[in-house]
Homo-oligomer: A and B are copies of this chain.
Amino acid sequence: MQLPTSIFVIQRGVLVASSDFSVVRGMRDMLPDVAKKKQAIEDRIRKEFEAYGFEPIETPIVEDFALLSAKGSAGESIKDDIYYFKDKADRELGLRFDLTVPLARVIVNNPQLVKPFKRYQIGKVYRYDKPGASRYREFTQADVDIVGSSSIMADYECVALAYKIMKDLSFNFSIRVSNKKLLADICLASNVPEDKVKDCMRSIDKMDKVGVAGVKKELSEKGIPSEVMDVIGRNDLKEIAKLVKDKTGLNELQELLDYCEKSGLTEFVKFDASLARGLEYYTGNVFEVTSKNEKGEVGPSVGGGGRYDNLVETYGGPKTPCVGISFGVDRLVDLREKELCEQLTQLMIVPIGLEAGKECLKIGRELRAVGLNVENDLMQRSLQKNLEYANKKRIPFVAIIGENEIKEGVMAIKNLTSGKQEKVKLADTKKIKELIKTQEETKEKK
């Protein structure tokens, strides 16, 4: 058994706190600055999902292990990669590792759902991976899926959404697309034996990590002819089009690329023959969203998806074409350095004296009623201490109110950035709101 980590907090050389309790390995706490950023990113993603007509669902984080390990989906070996446990009635359970498998269960159990069923879900998922930079054991995914449509327009909608979200969040990015059938066809046309195609694709999937030479080496070791890597390395769709015999995958991909071209996404959406997308359940077009830094250098993957027309059947449902895309919210949070969200609290009411403080509770309520986010002093601190607090918390406005102000029915609102101060009537809550909104907007324009 491993002992829990101990924490010692030392300030200016003095031990101020110690604790045997730390966050679980591979997971993290988000303090307000990070949590606000995450919330703002999720809100924007949600807004785009809803703009495309997707509706939310929620499923439990805990699922039956039988579901998580079903044959044709993740398989029994998933046990090594997830949090697996038994409940007190000896049921085998696990924490979900994605939002797609639970969706397939929902589809099978609810055949009454009108098709196409366009759902989104934003939720936490768990993988027992080796923790690393931007690689957590608990992380949040934001998924959209279109259930019941075999149209490539549905594939396009996933790509268009990815484009819109990445633009909206001001990221540099590219979206790589390919097709699982086409990749299999390329293998076959390059003399890979039919029974080695899946194995070959698993090796190709590693190209990002090990390069063309690395994949070639692995293929040789597996006894698979490695000339397929020459075709893939050249990444020339026209050449591939001539090469492959069955045109189904090619046509699916071509239709997707046509829609992207027609809507001006060509700059961002590129064919990549090496894209295999690890998960075995993909059956058609696949996509991967990759961030880029300011120099245009490729960063980590922040999302991906594709068509999976057989998964619902795997779980006992009728044949149901599906396509979807998933965004890694934690990756987006970590990559996004700039502040994304506005300051939540707009005004702090600073009373002078206890009796004024009590009156200020009411003033706070009245200002919240017109839609302002207002903090009252709950520490009965001095004016100076309260101003220090407001500055530390980056609250842009303070209203200083003593007993004289209350008698006169006025308050002085001070803009802590510009130093500008204005006297307003306490009863004039709408004017106070205007004043704060106007000055906030002026600041934003600067």
> Could you list which residues of chain A lie within 8 angstroms of chain B, going by C-beta atoms?
1-2, 4, 7, 9, 11, 16-25, 27-32, 34-36, 38-39, 50-53, 55-64, 66-67, 70, 80, 83, 85-93, 95, 105-106, 108-111, 113-116, 118-119, 124, 126, 128, 137-138, 146, 148-149, 151, 153-154, 156-157, 160, 164, 259, 262-263, 315-318, 344-345, 348, 357-358, 361-362, 364-365, 368, 371-376, 378-380, 389, 392-393
Contact = CB atoms under 8 A, between A and B. Distances in A.
Contact of A124 (B61, B259, B378): B61
Given A7-B108, A38-B58, A108-B17, A374 B52 contact: yes
B19 A106 contact: no
Given A29-B58, A29-B59, A378 B262 contact: no
A6 to B, nearest CB: 9
B24 A373 contact: no
A4 B64 contact: yes
Given A60-B24, A263-B361, A344-B50, A2 B375 contact: no
Contacts of A378: 116, 146, 149, 151, 153-154, 157
B57 A151 contact: no
A66 B151 CA distance: 52
Contacts of A92: 1
Contacts of A137: 62
Contact of A57 (B29, B63, B361, B365): B29
B19 A64 contact: no
B21 A70 contact: yes
13 contacts: A1-B92, A4-B66, A9-B108, A17-B316, A20-B66, A22-B109, A23-B59, A30-B59, A114-B389, A153-B358, A157-B378, A160-B361, A259-B358
Given A24-B62, A27-B60, 6 more contacts: A31-B106, A32-B55, A55-B345, A114-B393, A153-B358, A263-B362
SS of A interface (majority): mixed
B114 A64 contact: no
Contacts of A164: 368
B56 A35 contact: yes
Nearest to A392: B114
A25 B273 CA distance: 44
Contacts of A115: 379
A109 B151 CA distance: 52
B128 A87 contact: yes
A64 B30 contact: no
Given A373-B50, A389-B114, A393-B114, A138 B62 contact: yes
Contacts of A85: 83, 85-86
Contacts of A35: 55-58
B60 A23 contact: yes
A316 B18 contact: yes
A116 B379 contact: yes
A287 B62 CA distance: 31
A20 to B, nearest CB: 6
A53 B109 contact: no
A201 to B, nearest CB: 28
Contact of A21 (B64, B124, B374): B64
A95 B83 CA distance: 11
Given A22-B64, A111-B16, A345-B53, A91 B2 contact: yes
Contact of A368 (B51, B156, B316, B389): B51
B51 A372 contact: yes
